Structure 1
């Protein structure tokens, strides 16, 4: 951890922004109401305005931010004292040091304290897989890798550490977790999700919310932000921020559960889907933002836009004839805070709209109450900056070990012909491929910069895959040739020559870092240069260990057919290289499982919870035939399942059903196994999914050890959303599947289906 200078500490101790307190001993709601009663319309609208940090930085003659970043006092005073701006966000360009963050946040809050009511600024940051915008922080696997652990405890711990390091950077609001459902492999933000399954997404997402928020007002906790409400991840053409077409019942069945679970877990803020559903931009949808989010899900926190999205109601969606009309539509729909993010147009238009009676004052008061409440809940009024000495564990070995454990449990073994893995440490190994020697392929986007394109600079002290293997077995046993860039050959002949001298080839293919729209692709297959490298290396006859580091499941069927073993490493974070070396050479037994269905072909993109019609039949060679199914993953040991048991043959509306199964480690080494419970509704009024995950549990077993794993379900766990958008459980037969064990039971209800209202 970097030392904080004595002068800095002294400054912290002597300076504390103490905003006006409304009877500190009273309840949060009383304090909010008392403060609100003192506010002018201008002060209220200012609280609803969010600017990017760049808007208040010093710039040169070309309008570029001066380096190192420094706040422009005049711009800052204008923002906080003239316009009373309530929130700032973002990082300008690249990660800052803790010391620099301290200086920025201190000056911001000190300026806010000069305003009449001394309301502190709520600063937001995209700490997506650790505090990725502070140097020296702990970077974990991206969410898709966290999902592959099938271990909510790891998600909770990673979020807890992230919150600690965000607060150690003097920030109290984290724009995470992403709760979008990663259904379409083309979408460039798949790696930010917990994958394609609603149950995994809601379980891991709720764990992350709890880890981030804790008791919320503690100095190690931050406000979580659910992203991106809702349906954002399923654009029809797979491109970021393009239209989705999702029927209401389908939206509720698959996309809503993760947000409901996060609301139930206490999430205090939500960021809204930048795109549109069925022709209606979500920022303009009173149905989704008020009727559903507030009325049905019971969310009481802040609803913030994404980047410029109110402006885009006019510029992109063309549903508002003017920018002023766009503000009217969004605020009346239920938006509380606008990520403007560069100017004061939102502020000016909204004040005009209130004076004109087009936005009611009650809507303004409602929004501002929510904003003030989160500021009070996060302790900003009591300590708007924080003490640098309170965070001795920042970037610590303890936190690094937690990141390594997460990466160890995320990496997924997909193929291991003839038990080629683990490799012996005295073997001569060629490491090759475009992702072998760059941290960009381990961290992905949202790493030090938005696009993650400077990870090799900021994570220079971390091990790439090549460096980790060299450290594991010694440089003398490791050959290296890149063989190809991401999309072009690079000395392929040299890689082939080196392969002939090696006992095994570790071929690292995949993607470099990207984020959001720049990650859009027109072709799901990996570039030909990477596939050709695989072909040339396979011709040597040496066993190829294919390692995939990628943000989404790119089609790699040709290359995968040539491999003796295949490992999916996702974007596994700063410790991903070390974790991969641990697994390749047997120091760690792999236990990850795929959190999505891995496609075999470009145009066969079907999720595992497919409809029966998608399975194909005896006359259809083009049915469901993925390269690897959701939940698949191998180990260096073996597990057997037996004695699947249900507590009773039938379930009624007032009962619970206990399902148990015995799991035994039948191999020669200790290993972790994710026990996955699938249930199929055999017949229903809405065509049922082939199967759905309804529970999972990860256990550790020593050789020969057995354990009974139990799950308890209720009728609601069997429910689906019908064509009236109601959550119902219909009587009938259900099939349980855990590994190779199956069993059936019946659900018996009264004369009508059990109805639990809307989801």
Structure 2
């Protein structure tokens, strides 16, 4: 006991010391910011609020290299505080990034105050704009792992490799909350559940920033896109949303709140509008809620041209100058202008004429300077490449492979057709079978990701992974179909080849895309691919359907004819070999769907739907001809394994609780099969009756565990009062007295809130 007391005392002393050190560091930075701010002219301050894309400064005769006069003009004449994006032609090496950042730093050091330029990049699944970097699954695949430790480790590696590129700021994580599966950026999100999204957000922020954002191995994160961006009524990118504030607070805002508490240094604002108000013009959302209510002290930056769009698209500002006034007064700190200097000239004029107060400018610049000091940019802006020996290393690649393997989700396995036998003759076919573009998706080496086959030429496509495992002579292949264009001759060729195979691996999905180029009007998988699937199914041979897609494209026209269905999402550079290792049983699948996979285009209910979304006519008139309305192709949380897991002994420590109690939950999970496996244990909670119509169930906790055959583990969770609450009509979080149901697997327990 004495030793325990001594250890506790030491821990408390260390904790107090760390806390005091943090306070001292913050006070020191605050003093430096205040001192520097007091020396700055209006023009220098407004320059700090201006972000320009790097290509503006390039020499037209030498793409990728600076025109010295243009760079000087931007940094010395306009005092710009931030640069973003990728030099032409894209994906520089770490050496070229070093040269680029050295040129920028040298120019900044010639200015009066020598304020460093803050460089930002869309490194959303690794240092994805640097040649040779380690690319992880896209965010939707990270969510499917249900493994926050794995996700955090991936973010640490991404931060390391981004800093090796001399870049200190990443526009990640994406905290959008998609409500329409047609949306082109669904794969950049964590799916349809707010709790899962919040936990993954914290994992990424922790991994990027590592409690010391000034480290040469850490980067500042940027939450995006605040707020409501993923909920467009049309499903198209950058189109309006209609979202009551009660809904925003109960779901969307909780994700940002979790990331802010984790220490996220910046936030990017949604390009959309909510209930007729563009977010960039909403003081209520940006200042009243984000800055004041949530206490966010970081930098609020726009997305591409979005202040200009207040005038040209949203039509809430009659001029670009008026748009600048509206946005800055709403709470914008930095404008991604990004191809001109109009924001700078307009804002200087607005302040000089008293239309924007200097206090608003000082607040914005204080936030920007604070982040620059926190990032240690005044001491170091360019990476010493010798400090990054693990860039693109086998160690990092292994982590990307493990993450891809844990993300890939087995949705169906009829008659245990998987795992495959290495003696089987296999036909690999389908439009996504032989390209790295479809494994990586957008934001990979360049905006739309169309150059992945060039930059990732040393990586394995799905076909190449099969050939590497079995030998080229043992794998039959033909594309079978184009992603969009129907080709009867190619389908006939695939059918003929399939006659010589015992099993077919059919790789279907989508093109690489992001943002508006990814807009679609039909969520069915393309007709050319459906036609191939249906033609092959007539052979009555086992077909393993492999989906490579950023959103659930409907497969209900032929899913019943598939023996197995495997969802890969966008698994990154190591996804091909991870998939093939799963198909042959070298790896046991453990991913779970982070969204409902819909069956019909007009039936898009989420798993946590309201009861009225599940009404079955036969409940009322007992007429069997009516189908139940809630019938997704696969439900949120679906994920099969090559082993089986048995749940038992669900316990809660109280059957009645007060409004201050926590409740302890435990359950035993046994690997009842013959293979080692990983299982995501999901705890759902149902509020059985409430004044706001309750959800059928909502995810409240999860934990991923590993079990050997016949091994049992007891998994424990703690639920608190916030887990019982919802947002009422007065926009207050409340819990109401009554019965709640805990559900883990097929086990349930009730408790009463008194």
TM-score by length of 2: 0.95
- Which residue number corresponds to residue 747 of structure 2? 741
Separation in 2 of the partners of 1:138 and 1:650?
50
Selected match of 2:253 from 251, 256, 276: 256
Write out per-residue CA displacement over residues 651-683 of structure 1, whole angstroms, 9 at most, x where no aligned residue.
212211001111000000000000000000000
- Which residue number corresponds to residue 59 of structure 1? 60
Separation in 2 of the partners of 1:679 and 1:101?
49
Separation in 1 of the partners of 2:749 and 2:106?
64
Deviates more, 1:616-625 or 1:159-168: 616-625
Counterpart of 2:199 in 1: which secondary structure? helix
Counterpart of 1:632 in 2: which secondary structure? coil
Alignment of 1:362-441 (within 5 A): 362-441=359-438
For residue 715 of structure 1, report the CA deviation from its aligned partner: 1.1
For residue 488 of structure 1, report the CA deviation from its aligned partner: 2.1
- Which residue number corresponds to residue 230 of structure 2? 233
For residue 183 of structure 1, report the CA deviation from its aligned partner: 2.3
For residue 487 of structure 1, report the CA deviation from its aligned partner: 1.1
Contact 1:226/1:267, CA 8 A, preserved across alignment: yes
Separation in 2 of the partners of 1:652 and 1:27?
44
Write out per-residue CA displacement over residues 112-146 of structure 1, whole angstroms, 9 at most, x where no aligned residue.
01000000000000001000000000000000000
- Which residue number corresponds to residue 30 of structure 1? 31
- Which residue number corresponds to residue 77 of structure 2? 82
Does 2:713 correspond to 1:717?
A: no
Selected match of 2:332 from 310, 316, 335: 335
Counterpart of 2:219 in 1: which secondary structure? coil
- Which residue number corresponds to residue 127 of structure 1? 123
Does 2:249 correspond to 1:243?
A: no
For residue 476 of structure 1, report the CA deviation from its aligned partner: 2.0
TM-score by length of 1: 0.94
Separation in 2 of the partners of 1:354 and 1:729?
47
Write out per-residue CA displacement over residues 431-472 of structure 1, whole angstroms, 9 at most, x where no aligned residue.
000000000110000001100011111100000000001111
Uncovered stretches (5+) of structure 1, i.e. residues with no partner: 1-22, 61-65, 749-759
- Which residue number corresponds to residue 493 of structure 1? 492
For residue 498 of structure 1, report the CA deviation from its aligned partner: 0.7
Separation in 2 of the partners of 1:660 and 1:497?
54
- Which residue number corresponds to residue 476 of structure 1? 473
Q: 1:113 to 1:600 in 2, by over 3 A?
A: same
Q: 1:211 to 1:310 in 2, by over 3 A?
A: same
- Which residue number corresponds to residue 504 of structure 1? 503
Does 2:734 correspond to 1:728?
A: yes
For residue 338 of structure 1, report the CA deviation from its aligned partner: 0.2
- Which residue number corresponds to residue 461 of structure 1? 458
Q: 1:190 to 1:483 in 2, by over 3 A?
A: same
Write out per-residue CA displacement over residues 611-631 of structure 1, whole angstroms, 9 at most, x where no aligned residue.
000002233525111000000
Write out per-residue CA displacement over residues 466-516 of structure 1, whole angstroms, 9 at most, x where no aligned residue.
000111122222100101010123411111111000010000000121010
- Which residue number corresponds to residue 451 of structure 1? 448
- Which residue number corresponds to residue 4 of structure 2? none
Write out per-residue CA displacement over residues 145-175 of structure 1, whole angstroms, 9 at most, x where no aligned residue.
0000000011101110000000000000000
Does 2:584 correspond to 1:589?
A: no
- Which residue number corresponds to residue 68 of structure 2? 73
- Which residue number corresponds to residue 191 of structure 1? 187
Separation in 1 of the partners of 2:186 and 2:349?
40
Uncovered stretches (5+) of structure 2, i.e. residues with no partner: 1-23, 619-625
- Which residue number corresponds to residue 196 of structure 2? 200
- Which residue number corresponds to residue 17 of structure 1? none
- Which residue number corresponds to residue 539 of structure 1? 538
For residue 24 of structure 1, report the CA deviation from its aligned partner: 10
Selected match of 1:140 from 136, 139, 144: 136
Contact 1:489/1:533, CA 8 A, preserved across alignment: no
Contact 1:651/1:715, CA 8 A, preserved across alignment: no
Contact 2:617/2:628, CA 8 A, preserved across alignment: no
Q: 1:26 to 1:287 in 2, by over 3 A?
A: closer
Contact 1:488/1:530, CA 8 A, preserved across alignment: no
- Which residue number corresponds to residue 158 of structure 2? 162
Counterpart of 1:81 in 2: which secondary structure? helix
- Which residue number corresponds to residue 306 of structure 1? 303
Contact 2:549/2:569, CA 8 A, preserved across alignment: yes
Separation in 2 of the partners of 1:25 and 1:681?
42
Separation in 2 of the partners of 1:417 and 1:26?
62
Separation in 2 of the partners of 1:483 and 1:660?
50
Counterpart of 2:423 in 1: which secondary structure? coil
Contact 1:443/1:571, CA 8 A, preserved across alignment: yes
Contact 2:486/2:527, CA 8 A, preserved across alignment: no
Separation in 2 of the partners of 1:359 and 1:397?
53
